[in-house]
A and B are shown apart, each in its own frame.
Chain A
């Protein structure tokens, strides 16, 4: 009986998350983007392009914190179609926000993770959109996804620069 009551409580908590429908929006902009050739450490004689993205991020994600929010997982992903017409989504940055006080974002960041293409080159790759997405991780219940910001115009990949 006691455990049934606990299960009912947990279920009610999980369901209560659906009452909170905050959908905060922020802005994301790419301040600089460069492509350099490099050497992938894993394949010693394979040269490929690496893209370096600097971006500005503003968003107030505090509304996503309710009584059942444990933490937020934020990530910036680059979305583009490569030469073969395959839709790519590459996570270039992420952050975990554990406290509501830390949910005001005003970040000038750069890609935290290596941004490279499977075809080893960004030549002819169409312009990419950059978006800030989040996961709301609850104490009890389902993980929910959302998008908080997106570049208004797609950002083209520049020509590869040669390292002098």
Chain B
């Protein structure tokens, strides 16, 4: 049971995945800032502005926090273990 839980909850992603996540979150947050300001200004409502921003953040969290398979596509290739007896 513990093993299964750990398998699903452990969020190990590879280095390429980390890079990707960082890019996605940066671009999405910048987009969220611009879009939410435009939407809020157009509707003359701070409620709309922060609502749109919050929506972006929630979607971004869903896209970025779980270790989706897309972030695990480049696993680190380790060198083969050296046998201490060979040295």
Give residues in A with beta carbon < 8 Å to B: 1-2, 5-6, 8-9, 12-13, 16, 66-68, 139
Contact = CB atoms under 8 A, between A and B. Distances in A.
B29 A2 contact: yes
Given A68-B46, A139-B46, A9 B26 contact: no
A12 to B, nearest CB: 5
B29 A9 contact: no
Contact of A9 (B25, B44, B49): B49
Interface residues on B, range: 10 to 19
A9 B53 contact: yes
Given A13-B46, A13-B49, A68-B46, A5 B41 contact: no
B46 A5 contact: no
The list of the 9 closest CB pairs from A to B, nearest first, reads A67-B44, A5-B33, A5-B29, A1-B29, A12-B37, A8-B33, A9-B33, A67-B46, A67-B45
Interface of A is mostly: helix
27 contacts: A1-B25, A1-B26, A1-B29, A2-B29, A2-B57, A5-B30, A5-B32, A5-B33, A5-B53, A6-B53, A8-B33, A9-B33, A9-B36, A9-B37, A9-B53, A12-B37, A13-B40, A13-B46, A13-B49, A16-B41, A66-B44, A67-B40, A67-B41, A67-B44, A67-B45, A67-B46, A139-B46
B33 to A, nearest CB: 4
Interface of B: 25-26, 29-30, 32-33, 36-37, 40-41, 44-46, 49, 53, 57
Nearest to A16: B41
A18 to B, nearest CB: 13
Instruction: Identify which of A12, A16, A66 gathers the most chain B CB atoms within 10 Å of its CB.
Output: A12
Nearest to B36: A9
A147 B29 CA distance: 41
A1 B33 CA distance: 11
Contacts of B41: 16, 67
Contacts of A5: 29-30, 32-33, 53
Nearest to B40: A67
A131 B25 CA distance: 53
